[in-house]
Amino acid sequence: MARVQLLKAEIGRQLSQVESSRSRALTLDTSYEALGTLSVKQDELFRQALRCIEAELYRAAHVMAWAAAIDFVHERLGTNLGRCKSARPKWKLGTIEDFRDQADYQVIELAYEIGALRKNEMKAFHGHLNTRNECAHPEDVYPGLNQALGYIDDLFKRLNTLKKRPWP
């Protein structure tokens, strides 16, 4: 049985080098594992994004990956409700769930304002949000395998960086 697993792993590694192979999603495994522990919700959303890639549903993969990333940001902001309330006194913020009532763009700006994101990170997240919006709405946007893999890989790396940094 161990030999079969080794053979499958080697086949996956070889196929991941082929530009059009859905097995390239396996190349994200290292990045995904580097994230370490995520919430159950975030883990499931990222797994759904990877399954979307395997099924060649690239627009859906973008949407699911963004949902996982913004949930991570909501969770982190929720650990510092005091600063968030000070920065946004008009927002009703009592729990993490209250961040979901706000526009993602503004939530990312809030994370920058309280020092949880650097300026270039805020801009990158805004860019990812724009890509997600194009994929979630009836636009003439049809991302391919490479775009979906790149999008998810970049989100993995950004979240991994944020996990290592103490939030204010």
Residues 114 and 79: their CA atoms lie apart, in Å, by 12
Per-residue pLDDT of the chain (168 residues; tens, 9 = 90+): 676 566 555 656 555 544 444 555 555 666 566 566 788 899 899 989 988 998 999 999 999 999 999 999 999 999 999 999 999 999 999 999 999 999 999 999 999 999 999 999 999 999 999 999 999 998 889 999 989 999 998 998 899 899 888 877
Round to whole Å and give the CA distance between 122 and 43. Answer: 23
Query: How many angstroms separate the CA atoms of 26 and 115, rounded?
Result: 34
Q: pTM value?
A: 0.82
Is residue 167 within 8 Å of residue 76, measured between CB atoms? yes
CB-side exposure of 85: number of CA atoms within 13 Å? 11
Q: ∠41-49-116 over CA atoms, to 5°?
A: 60
User: What is the residue extent of each domain of the chain?
Assistant: 26-164
- Of the candidates 56, 16, 27, which has an alpha carbon nearest to the alpha carbon of residue 142? 56
What does the angle CA 134 – CA 137 – CA 143 come to, to the nearest 5 degrees? 45
How far, in Å, CA of 138 to CA of 52, rounded? Answer: 18
Structure tokens at 40: 């159950």
Fold (topology level) of 26-164: Four Helix Bundle (Hemerythrin (Met), subunit A) (1.20.120)
**For residue 85, what are its two tokens?**
């309330």
